[in-house]
Amino acid sequence: MTVNGGQIGAEVPDRTLLVDFLRDVAGLTATNVGCDTSSCGACTVLVDGQSVKSCTQLAAQADGREVVTVEGLASGPGEMHPMQRAFHAGHALQCGFCTPGMVMAAVSLLAENPSPTEAEVRTALEGNLCRCTGYHNIVRAVLAAARDGAAAAPGEAAAPGEAAADLATSERRPG
Ligand code: FES
Ligand code: FES
């Protein structure tokens, strides 16, 4: 399969989950395993551009496909994708465990709907659980990223990010 733009191939047992392949074979450990039962969304990645809970797919199902993890979002080392920048600026994380999956689900949403309403953001993130933030800052960050044009494809250069910058200077709501 292609992972974050590079080819990776390996023989693994039939029952190997995609999330385990990414973490244990590809060495990409930012994708987390929270529940292992398709409930929490911490393992969300993109497969052929669609957000997928990678604990619900076999690695073999991604054979020949293009997978993007949160490590592959930014355009280069030291850079942040506009969605990552909005989460950072908007204090949209606390422990950070849910964040890789939350960011990938949000990127997938904006790829399909570049200007979502708040209600559409909340609906799109229903499958991603966060035990820390209370969700408000996450939703605000996704809306700011949308205003900044974060629908850019993974690996593309970041947009100026004015809305995310505004988040950083505005009053932050408690969770
Ligand atoms: S670990 Fe995949 S949904 Fe929770
Ligand atoms: S920031 Fe801790 S689970 Fe979301």
Q: Would you say the CB of residue 33 lies under 6 angstroms from ligand 1?
A: yes
pLDDT in tens, 13-47: 999 999 999 999 999 999 999 998 999 999 999 99
For residue 118, being part of any structural domain is answered with yes
Name the token pair of 106: 């949000």
> Do the beta carbons of residue 4 and residue 28 sit within 8 Å?
yes
Kindly write down the DSSP assignment for every residue of 24-50, as one continuous string: IIS--TTS--S-SSSSS-TTEEEETTE
To test the ligand 1 pocket, which listed residue (40, 47, 97, 99) has its Cβ within 8 A of the most ligand atoms? 40
User: What single-letter amino acid sits at 39?
Assistant: S
Q: Considering its fold, how many domains does the chain have in total?
A: 2
Ligand number, closest to the Cα atom of 31: 1
For residue 18, being part of any structural domain is answered with yes
pLDDT in tens, 80-114: 999 999 999 999 999 999 999 999 999 999 999 99
Residue ending a domain, among 72, 90, 119, is: 72
For residue 20, being part of any structural domain is answered with yes
Helix or strand (DSSP H, E) at 53:
strand 50-53
* Residue 166 and residue 111 share a domain: yes
For residue 46, being part of any structural domain is answered with yes
pLDDT in tens, 122-169: 999 999 999 999 999 999 999 999 998 876 566 665 555 777 777 777
* Residue 50 and residue 87 share a domain: no
pLDDT given at position 172: 55
Question: Which CATH number belongs to the domain containing residue 66 in this structure?
Answer: 3.10.20.30
pLDDT given at position 11: 96
Task: Please tell me the distance from the alpha carbon of residue 52 to that of residue 43, in angstroms, as a whole number.
Answer: 8
Average pLDDT over the chain, rounded to an integer: 91
Range of the domain at 6: 2-72
For residue 120, being part of any structural domain is answered with yes
pLDDT given at position 158: 55
Q: Would you say the CB of residue 164 lies under 6 angstroms from ligand 1?
A: no
Backbone angles phi, psi at 58, to 5 degrees: -80, 150
For residue 21, being part of any structural domain is answered with yes
* Residue 67 and residue 86 share a domain: no
For residue 157, being part of any structural domain is answered with yes
Tell me the pTM: 0.90
Q: Is the dihedral of CA 20, 42, 154, 91 positive or negative?
A: negative
